Structures are given as C-alpha cells and as structure tokens.
C-alpha cells in the first residue's frame, strides 16, 4: 500500500457555462520517502492536485488515501487536525504572517499541539537551525531576503515533523542561489529525514532533484521519461 494513493480522482471547476476539468480520473501511487516532481504547463491542474493531496480542497469523485487515511470521508475539522499532523505545505510565496517574527511564524503550527513552552522552543530552534537561520529568529518577514523568507516557510512546514511535504513552485520567486539553497534543503529533508516530498516546478534544474517525475496535461497524468521532456 502506497503512502499516497489516488484512484480515479476527478476535479471540475465550473465558471458559468465554462467547465474546466484539471483532473480527469487521475490515479497515482507514491511510496513513503519518495521525492516526486510534478511538471506540466500552466493551468494544467498541478496546484489543484497538490491541494487535494494536502487536504485543503476536496475532489468531486474518486478515492484519495494519504498515510492510510481516506481523506474523502473526513469532516472539515478532522481534516484540519489531519493536516496539522501530516502535511507541511510550502507555497510559491513564503506566506509568512507579517506581524510575527521568524521564530513566531515557525512556532505557529505548534500552537495546535499540547506542548510546553520549552518543548516548543526546542522544536522551533531545531527547525530554524535546519534551514540555517538560527540567527534571524527575531527578524520580521520584511527584514528577511526572499530566499530567507522561503527557508523560514520551510522551517514552519517541518517544525511539527509531518511525514509529507508539499511544495508548489517553492523556488518560483527566487534567484538562482536562493533556489539552490531551498532545493538542497528539500533534498536533505528527503534523504536524511525520510520526508515524502511532492514538488511542483517549471524549472528543469529543480526537477533534477526528484526521484520520480510526473507530468500533468489536459487532465491526464503521465509518469517516467516522457514526463521530463
């Protein structure tokens, strides 16, 4: 049994008469510990797929099992708890809370857990150290560079130690060097900590880092060599 299993998942958007079907009976199996890269043209439904896997959106039909949990059967609040335990979402923009320091932003997901202040402190310090930003803990997002912001966002995604990381064009807004830093970080999290990673990218160099490659186009998912074209 895979870590992520999609069976005939369909997602349709209706805008008046106009119907878009970014995911048309998509099936997918990913094992724990894989670093999967999702490619595809703009508007092909990559973000839509990520959102379903991260349980912030619901499929119209099909089965969706992640980490042994059938997501289509859970209530909204059960999904919220599940997300807090299972997924770290890394967006294209860092999406940090502007009024909170780097430390406090990373601490956010831990508010949902029954941890003492000292335990939270230990975990936040560890996460900030993992992304190499221990010395920026007290900075506000606006006092950080784009690359640093994105690394804080990664720290926030891993601080609760979820098994799955979902990254939607995590380097899309970054310069080359910052992008390298972020990608190496993800690679290390995958290798050293066994995180399962699902990453969307348009950048072929970023795609190199993955262990498996998928391509989404016109609602259909393809895998393997042709995906990397």
Partner 1 sequence: MKLLRLVVKNLRRRPMRTLLTVGGVACAMLMLVLVQSLGAGLDAALSGSEAARTLIVYRLNRYCPQTSFLPEWYGPRIEQLAGVTSVLPVKVYLNNCRASLDIVPFNGVPAERLAGSRKFDVLDGDYGRFLAERDAALVGRSFAERKNLAVGDQFRFGGINVKVAGIFGSSEPVEEGTVVTHLEYLQRAVAVNRLGTVTQFEVKIDDPARAKEISAQIDDLFRTAPEPTDTRPRILFLEHATRDLREILRFAELLGLACVAVVLALVANTVAMSVQERVREFGVFRTLGFHARHVAALVIGEALVLALSGGALGLGAALAVIRFSSLTIGAEGVPVSFSTQPELIVRGFAIALATGLIAGLAPAIRSSRSEIVASLRSA
Q: At what angle do helices 176-193 and 146-158 cross, to 10 degrees?
A: 20
Question: Looking at the chain, how many residues does it have?
Answer: 229
51 is a contact residue toward Mg ion (CB under 5 A): no
For partner 1, the binding residues (CB under 8 A) are 51, 54, 56-57, 76-77, 80-85, 89, 91, 95, 97-100, 108-109, 111-112, 156, 160
Residue 201 lies near Mg ion (rule: CB under 5 A): no
Minimum CB distance to Mg ion smaller for 69 or for 93: 93
Q: In angstroms, how far is CA 178 from the centroid of its own chain?
A: 18
Tokens coding 23: 């995911």
- Contact stretch for ligand ATP (CB under 6 A) within 15-23, 59-67, 142-150, 154-162: 15-23
CB of 53 to ligand ATP, least distance (A): 12
Q: Which of residues 148-177 bind Mg ion (CB under 5 A)?
A: none
* 140's tokens: 């506000």
Question: How many C-beta neighbours within 10 Å does residue 162 have?
Answer: 20
Which residues inside 132-191 make contact with ligand ATP, applying CB under 6 A?
none
**Residue 139 CB, nearest approach to ligand ATP (Å):** 29
Sign (positive/negative) of CA torsion 97, 102, 106, 107?
negative
């Amino acid at each position: 049994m895979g870590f992520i299993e999609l069976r005939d998942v369909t997602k349709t958007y209706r805008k008046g008469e106009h119907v878009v079907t970014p995911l048309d009976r998509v099936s997918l199996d990913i094992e724990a510990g894989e670093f999967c890269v999702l490619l595809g043209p703009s508007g092909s439904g990559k973000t839509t797929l990520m959102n379903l896997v991260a349980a912030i959106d619901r499929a119209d039909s099909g089965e969706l099992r992640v980490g042994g949990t059938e997501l289509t059967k859970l209530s909204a609040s059960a999904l919220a708890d599940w997300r807090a335990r299972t997924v770290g979402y890394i967006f294209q923009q860092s999406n940090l809370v502007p009024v909170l320091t780097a430390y406090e932003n990373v601490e956010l997901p831990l508010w949902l857990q029954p941890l003492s202040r000292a335990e939270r402190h230990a975990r936040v310090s560890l996460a900030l150290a993992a992304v190499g930003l221990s010395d920026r803990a007290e900075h506000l997002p606006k006092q950080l560079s784009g690359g640093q912001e994105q690394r804080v966002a990664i720290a926030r995604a891993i601080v609760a130690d979820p098994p799955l990381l979902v990254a939607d064009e995590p380097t899309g807004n970054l310069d080359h060097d910052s992008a390298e830093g972020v990608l190496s970080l993800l690679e290390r999290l995958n290798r050293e900590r066994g995180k399962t990673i699902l990453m969307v990218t348009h950048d072929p160099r970023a795609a190199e880092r993955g262990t498996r490659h998928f391509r989404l186009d016109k609602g259909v998912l393809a895998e393997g060599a042709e995906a990397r074209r």
